[in-house]
């Protein structure tokens, strides 16, 4: 699908997707592992999954890169790694889950659930690379105070809850006939030939091109 996109079209589409992905989550999405410790704030993995599926549409993929979970004996944890790809950008995430064992035999309980938990944690870690959830967790993270983190305050307030990602929404326009992403050249051509329907250059009717395009029919 994206193989036929130009560099400009890919960049425009990527900006549009990232604008949606990095937008604040709905209120009360942030949870706490310890209600008494603000630094324990986190966003559940299902919220990330829903955000990516909804806002990245068909332009994302998730691939597990570990053949099998990696066991860490010193912490009795398993590790899973995976790569999240959004259009032409990729990030690898690491996920961990502590194994639950029977107290008498020390055998592992619910191993499959632990693997799923580590996999979800890996996706959440990869999503962090793209800045998803940053604006929601900023009030509880020291790194958010650093200007180099890419977050800025709104309205001059010192309240970290006013932090947001400094992105502007970019609208992606598509041809109403063939569905192709419209380039700036397409949009300029519509103005030239005075055609109000949102279509690409090739789908502008010939009679309209002939009437207003001074180069129509001429061999270059």
User: What are the start and end residues of each CATH 3.30.390.80 domain in the chain?
Assistant: 1-151
Whole-model pTM: value is: 0.66
Q: Which two tokens stand for residue 132?
A: 């998803």
Q: pLDDT for 88-145, tens place per residue?
A: 899 999 999 999 999 999 999 999 999 999 999 999 999 999 999 999 999 998 888 8
User: Strands, DSSP E only, in the chain?
Assistant: 31-32, 41-42, 60-64, 70-72, 77-86, 89-98, 100-101, 108-109, 152-153, 163-164
41-73 tens-digit pLDDT? 999 999 999 999 999 888 899 999 999 999 999
Residues linked to residue 89 through DSSP beta bridges, in sequence order? 86
Q: Are 43 and 29 in contact (CB under 8 A)?
A: yes
Lowest mean pLDDT among 13-27, 109-123, 165-179, 188-202: 165-179
Asked if residue 216 lies in contact with residue 210, where contact means CB atoms within 8 angstroms, the answer is yes
Distance (Å, whole) CA 210 – CA 208: 5
* CATH number 3.40.640.10 is the correct assignment for the domain at 1-151: no
**Structure-token match 């604008």, residue found:** 19
Q: What band does 158 get if pLDDT is binned at 50, 70 and 90? A: very low
Which tokens is 51 given?
A: 């955000």
């Amino acid at each position: 699908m994206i193989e036929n996109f130009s560099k400009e079209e890919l960049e425009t589409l990527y900006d549009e997707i990232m604008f949606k992905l990095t937008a604040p989550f709905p209120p009360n999405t942030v949870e706490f592992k310890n209600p008494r410790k603000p630094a324990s704030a986190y966003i559940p993995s299902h919220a990330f999954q829903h955000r990516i599926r909804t806002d990245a549409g068909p332009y994302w993929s998730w691939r597990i890169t570990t053949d099998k979970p990696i066991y860490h004996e010193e912490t009795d944890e398993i590790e899973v790694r995976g790569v999240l790809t959004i259009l032409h950008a990729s990030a690898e995430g690491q996920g961990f889950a502590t194994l639950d064992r029977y107290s008498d035999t020390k055998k592992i309980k619910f191993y499959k659930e632990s693997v799923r938990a580590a996999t979800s944690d890996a996706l959440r870690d990869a999503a962090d690379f793209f800045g998803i959830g940053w604006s929601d967790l900023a009030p509880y993270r020291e790194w958010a105070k650093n200007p180099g983190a890419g977050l800025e305050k709104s309205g001059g307030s010192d309240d970290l809850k006013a932090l947001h990602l400094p992105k502007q929404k970019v609208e992606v326009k598509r041809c109403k006939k063939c569905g192709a992403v419209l380039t700036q050249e397409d949009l300029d051509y519509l103005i030239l030939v005075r055609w109000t329907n949102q279509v690409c250059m090739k789908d502008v009717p010939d009679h309209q091109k002939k009437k207003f395009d001074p180069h129509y029919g001429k061999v270059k």
